[in-house]
Amino acid sequence: MGESPSPAPAPAAAAAKVYYEGCPGCAMERRKESSTGTPYKELFFVGITTFASSLPITSLFPFLYFMIQDLHVAQREEDIGFYAGFLGASYMVGRGFASIFWGMVADRIGRKPVIVFSLFTVIVFNTLFGLSVKYWMAITTRLLLGALNGFLAPIKAYSIEVCRDDEQALGISIVNTAWGLGLIIGPAIGGYLAQPAKQYPHIFHDKSTFGRFPYLLPCLCISIFATFALISCIWLPETLHKHAKFEMGAETAEAGTTQESTESPKKSLWKNWPLMSSIITYCVFSLHDTAYSEIFSLWTVSGRKYGGLSFSSKDVGQVLTVAGVSLLVYQIFVYRWLNNTLGPVNSTRIASE
């Protein structure tokens, strides 16, 4: 009689995020919660560091044929492609064996140390590659450059961790856009700056440093840019959670409840079919991309008597630059389509896979 209805049971208390003092990952989470704007500064660093890392890969192809020719390792002109294949593949061989290791290191000590070390190796070994006068020296420096450059996986994780959930697609697209710019600028640097004493005899003399090391100038320009990118990393904040109670992201915990976690048995990665299908697809497209860049450059610079086009390194750089522009436009279109069709979170997940 006249009793007021008892209030409906309140929903479970909203999970409160637990932050730890001195943890860079927690500091980044606080910053994302308090800020409503786009992290332009962090994304700018992501872009320039990714760009600096992509240049050593793409700048090689316009002058690869001529470098093998000048190293006098091939007994016949028909054998140049054979030795060029090993030199072009050495970078990816090193990266293929070391990428998982660098990903584990980034998960243990942080993203920033791995990014900084990778840029440092670009500066050192890319310069040494430009100074190579023997085939073994060229292939060794490229192999070490790939093995010690564990950049790509940590920078993708970093680009997501500095963005809020609704901006993660933007973070991933910055990485791929910067990589696409490397596909444009890298071949242009290699094509226009290789063999400067031959291409620009009125500026560079045959007995000058760049005359004695005809492939040093493009490598040196890339190393100088990587040096500026390395200096910019001083202002790069860390994003890894460095305490035992957090896994690789800010976990949530309810106040006043005991944390009792039951670990489910882990499924083998080899039986994770969505993951394996994504890896296989990525491998196929990566094979196509790399094979196109290297085979196309070797074919175009070969003599006409061997079925080639007798292009110069500058010609190859121009063609690869135009191809890089078309690829960049395609990537931007795809990411815009994914973002508009599937939403920011789903498009980020697909793009990162």
Using only C-alpha atoms, the chain has a radius of gyration, in whole angstroms, of 25
* pLDDT number for residue 299: 82
Distance CA 223, CA 209 (A): 17
Sheet strands (E) in the chain = 16-17, 252-253
Distance CA 70, CA 86 (A): 16
Does residue 293 form part of some domain?
no
How many domains does one find in the chain? 1
Select from 180, 172, 103, 117 the least CA-distant residue to 149: 117
Residue type, 57: I
Residues 154/106, Cβ–Cβ less than 8 Å: yes
**For the whole prediction, is pTM greater than 0.85?**
no
Tokens matching residue 174: 């910055």
CB neighbour list of residue 152: distance below 8 Å, 6 or more residues apart: 53, 99
Distance CA 43, CA 115 (A): 14
Does residue 117 form part of some domain?
yes
* pLDDT number for residue 341: 67
CATH number at residue 34: 1.20.1250.20
* pLDDT number for residue 217: 94
Does residue 188 form part of some domain?
yes
Does residue 266 form part of some domain?
no
* pLDDT number for residue 331: 64
Residue-number span of the structural domain to which 98 is assigned: 24-243
* pLDDT number for residue 147: 92
DSSP state of 5: P
Going residue by residue through the chain, which has 353 residues, state the pLDDT in tens, using 9 for 90 and above: 445 454 544 444 444 567 677 777 777 777 777 777 778 888 888 889 889 988 998 899 889 889 998 998 988 888 888 898 899 889 988 888 888 899 888 888 888 899 999 999 999 999 999 999 999 999 999 999 999 988 888 888 888 888 887 777 778 888 888 888 888 888 899 989 998 988 888 888 888 889 899 999 999 999 999 999 999 887 888 888 776 544 444 444 444 343 444 445 566 767 778 778 877 887 887 777 777 777 777 788 887 877 778 888 888 888 888 777 776 676 667 666 666 665 544 444 444 44
Residue type, 121: T
Does residue 90 form part of some domain?
yes
Does residue 118 form part of some domain?
yes
Does residue 137 form part of some domain?
yes
Does residue 262 form part of some domain?
no
